[in-house]
Amino acid sequence: MTTGITQGTDGGSVGSWGLASPTKSPGLAGRFRTLTGILVLAASFLAAAAGVGYYWCGSLTSAIAFLRGDSLIPDAYLKSFGSTLVGSETEVRFRLWNRTGRVIRILGAKTSCTCLVTSELPRDVAPGGRTDLMVTVRAKKPGSLSQSLQVITDDRSCPSPILAVTGVVRGVAETKTVAAE
């Protein structure tokens, strides 16, 4: 009894429908190896690009901003000041990099609350240059603090970066006076 499934006389393999294929086919295993090789190569390229971007830009988010074509790139979009006491002022530094071939003028910053203050603005950032933007956090009440500021520039071709500051504001330690008996 014959089933109609044959091995090709020229070394071809059995096709997916059970018929002999007239040409050699890599088969499922061969296709899997090819696809795996392509994926490994792509993953290696992305890992190398991420590593170079991290080294060059300071963080992966900054590297993504660079690849996206942003003009003014911060070293990090989110920074923590740690913890501080109510009534104190703490400074947080954002390093901004101008990746364009022209001067970018930082005009100011729009903050989400009055507890964040920037100074020494407006200022120019030379082409390819970097500048430090100091943000003063004025701790007004105890608790978790998470606020943002948008850096306003004269560059209309790209959105202004939005930076965030987080931390914890501790209340002043209370002391109890106990009268001696």
Q: What is the mean pLDDT of residues 6-33?
A: 58
Q: What is the mean pLDDT of residues 22-35?
A: 73
pLDDT at position 159 over 90: no
In a domain, 12, yes or no: no
CATH code of the domain in which 165 resides:
2.60.40.10
Encode 10-27: b = buried (16+ Cβ within 10 Å), e = exposed.
eebeeeeeeeebeeeeee
Angle subtended at Cα 124 by Cα 72 and Cα 103, rounded to the nearest 5 degrees: 65
In a domain, 176, yes or no: no
What is the pLDDT at residue 176?
A: 44
Query: Would you call 32 exposed, middle or buried from its count of C-beta atoms within 10 A (0-12, 13-18, 19+)?
Result: exposed
In a domain, 63, yes or no: no
159 and 87 fall within a common domain: yes
48 and 132 fall within a common domain: no
What is the pLDDT at residue 23?
A: 55
Give the total number of structural domains in the chain. Answer: 2
Residues of the domain holding 130: 70-170
DSSP 173: P
pLDDT digits over 42-87, tens only? 888 878 877 776 676 666 777 777 777 788 889 889 999 999 999 9
- For the whole model, what pTM was predicted? 0.65
146 and 101 fall within a common domain: yes
Give the residue carrying structure tokens 């500051």.
165
pLDDT at position 117 over 80: yes
Of 134, 157, 162, the C-alpha closest to 147 is: 162
85 and 114 fall within a common domain: yes
How many Å apart are CA 119 and CA 124, to the nearest integer? 13
